[in-house]
Amino acid sequence: MALKGLDIFKLTPKTNCKDCGNPTCMAFAMKVASGALPIEKCPHMSAEALSTLSEATAPPMKSYKVGEHALGGETVLSRHEKTLVSKTLYAVQVCDCMDEAKQDEVLKNIPAVDYERIGERMYVEMVYVNHSPAKSAADYAGLVGKAKALGRPMVLSCTDVEAMKAGVEAAAGCDIIVNGATPDNYADMSAVAAGAKALLGVRADSIEQLHEVVEKLEAAGNKNLILDVGDASIKDAYANAVQIRRAALKDGDRTFGYPSIVNVDNLAKGDAHLEAALLSLFTCKYGSIVVCSEMTYAKALPLYGLRQNIFTDPQKPMKVEPGIYPINGADENSPCCLTVDFALTYFLVSGELERSKVPVNLLITDASGMSVLTAWAAGKFSSSSIKKFFDEFDVANKIKSRALIIPGKVAVMKGEIQDKLPDWSVIVGTSEAVQLVKYLRDEEWKKSYVEKAAPAAGETAPAEAAPAPKKVIPAPPIVVTGPYKIDGKEVTYKGHDPASRQFVTIGERIHCISPAIRKAMDSYDEAPILKRAAEQIAAGATYLDVNIGPAESNGPELMQWAVQLLQQNFNNVPLALDTANQKAIEAGIKVYNRTNGKPIVNSADAGSRISNIDLAAANDAIVIALCSADGIAKDNEERMMHCHNMLERGLHLGMESDDLWFDPLFLVIKGMQDKQMDVLSAIRAFSEEGLKSTGGLSNNSNGMPKHIRPIMDAAMVGMAMTMGLTSAIVNPCDQRLMETIKSCDIIKNNNLYADSYLEI
């Protein structure tokens, strides 16, 4: 639990010596509380104060490693609040009370379940070796020695200190947990665990007693613990598991801030299906290690799938593995349908394909878990990525059919894909998954199928084929229409002073996701582009964003054309250059006129797109810096880390901090409602550090009805501007939003009020 500034102040020497670089101890304490300074910056803190502080700022639940497996470290009770970090581990119980044949059988069956599911190895991670009081220490040591041969970490369960010593000795060289501390033996058992450098498992007859024993162990200096929830009854075990975790994470009780062990073998008492149910229950809530009698595929297939689902990071898009997925018994002669690896897209498309009952090979390409259009716009789903996929998975040799059906939404890619895969007949499929059933059943795709000359026997056609001549439509000369008019009214760009404190709006309407713009970009048709530019300028946009899509074949020409077209027609309106194609951005900047402000590079992030910061630095441009790496940042700590990494990189390359505009990533309310205040806090944090910020603000209202969106966007911009947002990528034609922004600029004293302020 975070300490307040005043609590920290009480622990400081209160001498205001300034050795920490702050004017007063109070100022220092406030900065420590906000996380801006480490407590060690004060050279005069007493050891006692330091330990109190580190205790108070310690995470609510300890985290450990046993072998390669993580345990504990959770900060939330529900996966949607933030990621659950340490997945439940499974162990199989073997006991020295079993006859030898039974022991051997149990041990022999442990490796039986071992498979991979979406990139994760699924197997029994640990062996739980139990000691019965009826048996001798030597019996126990013998069993531990046998179990050790499996080479997996072991949980030694034994309340007899001497037998445990024998077990620990027999386990030498193996990662173990010493699960045997009780209210009677905890001091001695703790010494055994400490000697073996192992976690100590603690059990007691009641939760109150368990708490008491843990307190005593902690007082004696052992804080490497794991709590056994007991096996008196299913009800008690469940109550304990939930209450222990809840006490630690919700009520701040550090004494219970340890991982847990649940023995469902002892609870299910031989009922295999009940054991399956309990495995599931305690994976949901809140078993760190769950022990069963046997792991069969029947239990494992749902269980490991469930665990994988629960412990996925909710901030990261769920991806499916790229590959060839035969559907409805497809074979090498069945046609191919191509799409991206976003899990929802996959489930939707594969579901509809199955409904069609037509055998089809579904090709899933790596698109960083984005949906079709988003991936395409970000350059993650392109003819090159598809070509790479075909090479990596050796599609041409695995599949004989040469029919390749691509999503209708990216029909523009057809030519580029055809160039890269000349042997295939690239067919534009349906725009929506639901249309696939009819499309396939009625064999509509065959109408567009073009038979390709089959390569002669022995010839390796794909490698030998001459590259198709690259057809690049040359950019036409720039057309300047003279004063552009809307409803007879001349549209002129009002100009922009980069030093102004007024809110900067970046108009988002020239975006290749719009079919009209996509078509216009494809054919250098200036009319639709000029029209959208004029509308946005008339509505008061400061900058215009120009998204030309991935533009793999003609990016530089296209961007130069677009930049000059817009600037020459509209008084050098400043622009944000938006494409995954870096060469296109550079080319655009070469012909860019800076009268009304530097060009903006849209955008860099802290992951694969970080080099766009270098690009901006090299070309004296502004860069929009997304505070994310792969997927959405899980909290503001991560957002700020990305922010500082990118800031540092920019400054190091000679940029001004004002030229990095940080984007916290606005999140969809329908889906991430509980994260909205985090986004706003991030904006405040940028602002407090004197940094500029921007972002695709209207993403918050994605999926809401048309009449709601302007209301929600206006509320969001108002709150965000209070927090210090300095710019946003918006639809300037949304009048309510633009009026709200202008009003906020008045309230923030960025613009002097006049009755006609909305009109200027």
Partner 1 sequence: MPFAKKPQVFSAKINELTLGAGDKAVTLGGQNVFNLYAFDAPMANSPKIGIDVSDDPEQPSEGLREFYAGCDTLAQRAQKAAALEHVDFVCIRFDLADPNGANKSIEDCVADAKAVAEAVDKPIVVAGCKNAEKDADLFAKVSEALQGKNILVLSAKEENYKGIAAGAGLAYGQKVGAESAVDINLAKQLNVLITQMGVGGQNIAMNIGSAAAGYGFEYVVSTLERVKAAALSQNDNTLQMPIITPVGVETWGVKESTAPESENPGWGSAEERGIDMEVETAAACLAYGSDAVILKHPASIETVARLTAALM
Residues binding partner 1 (CB under 8 A): 78-80, 112, 117, 207-208, 210-212, 215, 233-235, 238-239, 242-243, 246-247, 251, 253, 255-256, 271-274, 276-281, 283-285, 296-299, 301-306, 308-310, 312, 314, 318, 343-344, 347, 670-671, 673
Amino acid of residue 469: P
Nearer to partner 1, 31 or 254 (CB): 254
- Cβ(403)–Cβ(335) under 8 Å? yes
The CB-of-331 to partner 1 minimum distance in angstroms stands at: 16
The encoded tokens of residue 4 equal 């307040």
Residue number with CB closer to partner 1 (124 or 158): 124
Q: How buried is residue 444: exposed, middle or buried, by Cβ count under 10 Å (0-12/13-18/19+)?
A: middle
Burial 551-567 (b: 16+ CB within 10 A, else e): bbbbbbbbbbbbbbbbb
Give the pair of three-digit tokens for residue 66.
């046993």
Half-sphere exposure at residue 474, Cβ-oriented, CA atoms within 13 angstroms: 2
Start-to-end C-alpha separation, the chain: 50
Give min distance, CB of 265 to partner 1, in A. Answer: 15
**Matching residue, tokens 């020497």:** 13
Nearer to partner 1, 164 or 349 (CB): 349
- Judged by CB, which is closer to partner 1: 162, or 674? 674
Task: Tell the smallest beta-carbon distance from residue 159 to partner 1 (Å).
Answer: 21
740 touches 728 (CB < 8 A): no
User: CA 83 to CA 635: how far, in whole Å?
Assistant: 10
Burial class (CB in 10 A: 0-12, 13-18, 19+), 242: middle
- Is 128 within 8 Å of 91 (Cβ atoms)? yes
Nearer to partner 1, 693 or 701 (CB): 701
CB atoms within 10 A of CB 676: 16
Residue closer to partner 1 (CB basis): 354 or 638: 354
Q: Are 80 and 674 in contact (CB under 8 A)?
A: yes
Q: For residues 411 and 668, which CB has a smaller minimum distance to partner 1 in the complex?
A: 668
The least CB distance from residue 243 to partner 1, in Å, is: 7
| 44 versus 269: smaller Cβ distance to partner 1 | 269
Minimum CB separation of residue 208 from partner 1 in Å reads 5
540: left (phi over 0), alpha (psi -120 to 50) or beta: left
Tallying the residues shown for the chain, one arrives at: 760
**Cβ distance to partner 1 smaller for residue 278 or 413:** 278
- Strands 114-117 and 120-123 come out as antiparallel
Least separation in angstroms between CB 60 and partner 1: 15
Closest separation in Å from C-beta 508 to partner 1: 24
Identity of the residue, 297 or 753, whose beta carbon is nearer to partner 1 in the bound complex: 297
Return d(Cα 662, Cα 344) in angstroms, integer. Answer: 29
Contact, 167 vs 140, CB < 8 A?
Answer: yes
- Closest contact distance (angstroms) between CB of 37 and partner 1 is 31
- Minimal distance, residue 717 CB to partner 1, in Å: 21
Structure tokens at 207: 């939760």
- Could you tell me the smallest distance in angstroms from the CB atom of residue 84 to partner 1? 10
- Rounded to an integer, what distance in angstroms lies between the CA atom of residue 230 and that of residue 261? 8
